[in-house]
Every structure is written in structure tokens, then in C-alpha cells.
Amino acid sequence: QPGIVLKNKNAVIVAHSRVFFEPVAYLLRREGVSAEFLSPGSDVDAVKNADIVIIAVGHENFLAADNIKNGAIVIDVGINKTPHGVVGDVDAEAVRSLDGFITPVPGGVGPVTVASLLANTAAAVARRP
């Protein structure tokens, strides 16, 4: 989103593994954002103070609106198939009432992941001898 300054914001990344956390935290830190790892079994109260929440736990509606700070940027990486369709790890309908941003599920980070994979594959092929 144009006009959003990331520098000096704090992020909480909720994930099962540091394998997901480390590269994301690296990219955030390059932009001046502090990043904290939180496993799904931890107390999610730490999320309430985060300016940026990134979640990838694979659990439908894991975070509710009362877990998220008003005005937060929420990046929902979760994909959960339900009888009502595909939903993320965040209760998106409730979070939309907050004065922030939330990625849609489906259609949020998935297309970015696919585009990055294709770009990296093309770059790797171009480097082949």
C-alpha cells in the first residue's frame, strides 16, 4: 500500500517453525521493522501490540479481531478448506472492521508466491551454463 511507512514498526510472525520465520524476519528487518516469532501454542496476547501480524498456522480463524490491534497490517498466509470454502488463519470478516489492512484468502499471498517461484526458476535457468 503506498504511503505506509514500515520503519520502526513491530511485527509478530505466528508460525509452526522458524524455517518460515527467519526469511520473513530478515526481509522485515531490512525495512527497519522489529520481528518476533510466536508459535501457535504460545500466548497470542503478544499479537495485540503488533503493528504487523503475519500468520501461517493452518488453523481456521486462529486469530480473532480481539487479538489484533486496531490499524494493524495483517498478512494471512493460511489456507484452510472448509465446507463453506477456503478461509485463512484469521477471522477476516471480524478483522475487516478494524482500521487496518488484511490480505484476502484466497487470492492474497498465493499469487505472489507463484510469481516469485516462477521468477526464481527463470533466474536459475538463466544462470545455468
pLDDT recorded at residue 1: 52
CB atoms within 10 A of CB 41: 8
Nearest to 4 by CA among 76, 75, 73: 73
8, 29 Cβ separation under 8 angstroms: no
pLDDT recorded at residue 41: 82
pLDDT tens figures, 5-23 = 889 999 999 999 888 899 9
pTM of the model: 0.84
Q: Which positions of the chain have pLDDT values less than 50?
A: none
